[in-house]
Chains A and B, each alone.
Chain A
């Protein structure tokens, strides 16, 4: 029975999981959740994620939420197929991957997410992006990216000379970030820029990137 992923193709968290599923060459069904109707805040979806956020995953009788936990489960379950994302054959390498997965979650995401929010959501209600919030977070993100620039000058990818789940976790939010006027933060750091161009050109991500067009559609 195929995995069922409840979410929306334009959502960066749903895309995080879909990218992982594509890297593992695993079949799945994307079950759309209508965010614009508030479907994620009501039953039956709330039974799948009491926090009312997408995505959620069903694998038989197992029900999961939190995109990073779902992706880690997928990477573990299908560790013998597709790209090696978790380096399970080397305890040391696996530990390095976990370090940079935490860095994405604790350092990178809190700085990048408010910037994206200001540029994508604020104008839809006629608000100008809050420059104070943008400035505060571009400064934070710049410091994080300085660490990345240094690391990526020594290893090809974040956890080592191998692509891993740690790199994958950065893809979907960075993709939206690169559409904003703050993209220069990535582009002006040569190792970070090269890393971004490499990981975002992977076929598994290309498959989900084209649907990530929040706020862009029109007839």
Chain B
């Protein structure tokens, strides 16, 4: 049995973030589905793993983690010499650039993109009405963020460097859902962002994450 376990849902954006990292690093792991419809993520067993009752939870032997970005970051460091190199090594100045773009994903990109995904992808799933005002406000905000990305990606092949890193990987779950909605136009109208989106979503490790839906 693998020492590494991920508890979550193959459809959950945060779960996918951790899975993407594990596949990039080519690490064996056991996936433990958590049935959130039945409230399993609020059970005592799960709350012992993540007191916030959110997926995913992550285990590596006697280490238990939650928060998808912290879990992925641990994997990237612990298995630095396996699979894809997701970190920047070098001086503090060089490493700081990676930390910067990871923060940008968390504090600039995540909120407006999550709101658009919620309104345009998840709500229509069970016939709930979309709030057009929320969509407009958040698409505008997301557009401003992507303008910054467009400029950055003329200077650098990926966000933090000329190589794919955790900073790019952290964006994948929300990007994937946005591509299934009319909001994909926000990418298509920005050529460098569009090329970057196509590149990172075509990575084989990401395809493996998506394939988990069908198992």
Q: Chain A interface (Cβ within 8 Å of chain B)? A: 12-13, 35-38, 41, 52-53, 113-114, 116-117, 119-121, 123-128, 176, 179-181, 214-219
Contact call A180/B39, Cβ cutoff below 8 A: yes
Q: Chain B interface (Cβ within 8 Å of chain A)? A: 9-14, 31-33, 35-39, 41, 53-55, 114, 117-118, 121-128, 179-182, 184, 210, 212-215
Contact call B114/A37, Cβ cutoff below 8 A: no
Cβ 8 A contact of A126, one of B31, B54, B128: B54
A-B contact pairs, 10 of them (CB 8 A): A38-B180, A119-B36, A121-B123, A123-B37, A126-B14, A216-B37, A217-B33, A217-B214, A218-B31, A218-B215
Contact call A124/B122, Cβ cutoff below 8 A: yes
Contact call A218/B33, Cβ cutoff below 8 A: yes
Cβ 8 A contact of A123, one of B12, B31, B126, B179: B12
Contact partners of A35 in chain B: CB under 8 A: 125, 180
Cβ 8 A contact of A121, one of B10, B122, B184: B122
Given contacts A41-B182, A113-B126, contact A219 B212 (CB under 8 A): yes
Contact partners of A124 in chain B: CB under 8 A: 9, 11-13, 36, 122
For B15, give the chain A residue with the smallest CB separation. A124
Contact partners of A37 in chain B: CB under 8 A: 179-180
Residue among A113, A119, A123, A217 with the highest chain B CB neighbour number at 10 A: A123
Given contacts A125-B13, A218-B32, contact A119 B212 (CB under 8 A): no
The list of the 8 closest CB pairs from A to B, nearest first, reads A218-B33, A38-B180, A123-B36, A219-B215, A117-B126, A121-B122, A124-B12, A126-B54
Contact call A113/B54, Cβ cutoff below 8 A: no
What's the Cα separation between A217 and B118 when bound, in Å? 21
Contact call B12/A36, Cβ cutoff below 8 A: no
What's the Cα separation between A52 and B35 when bound, in Å? 28
Given contacts A37-B180, A126-B13, contact A119 B37 (CB under 8 A): yes
Contact partners of B127 in chain A: CB under 8 A: 13, 53, 113
Contact partners of B9 in chain A: CB under 8 A: 123-124, 215, 218
For B176, give the chain A residue with the smallest CB separation. A36
Contact call A41/B181, Cβ cutoff below 8 A: yes
Contact partners of B184 in chain A: CB under 8 A: 38
What's the Cα separation between A37 and B176 when bound, in Å? 8
Contact partners of B41 in chain A: CB under 8 A: 123
Given contacts A124-B11, A218-B9, contact A116 B180 (CB under 8 A): no
Contact call B35/A216, Cβ cutoff below 8 A: yes
What's the Cα separation between A126 and B34 when bound, in Å? 13
Residue among A41, A125, A181 with the highest chain B CB neighbour number at 10 A: A125
B199 to chain A, nearest CB (A): 18
For B41, give the chain A residue with the smallest CB separation. A123
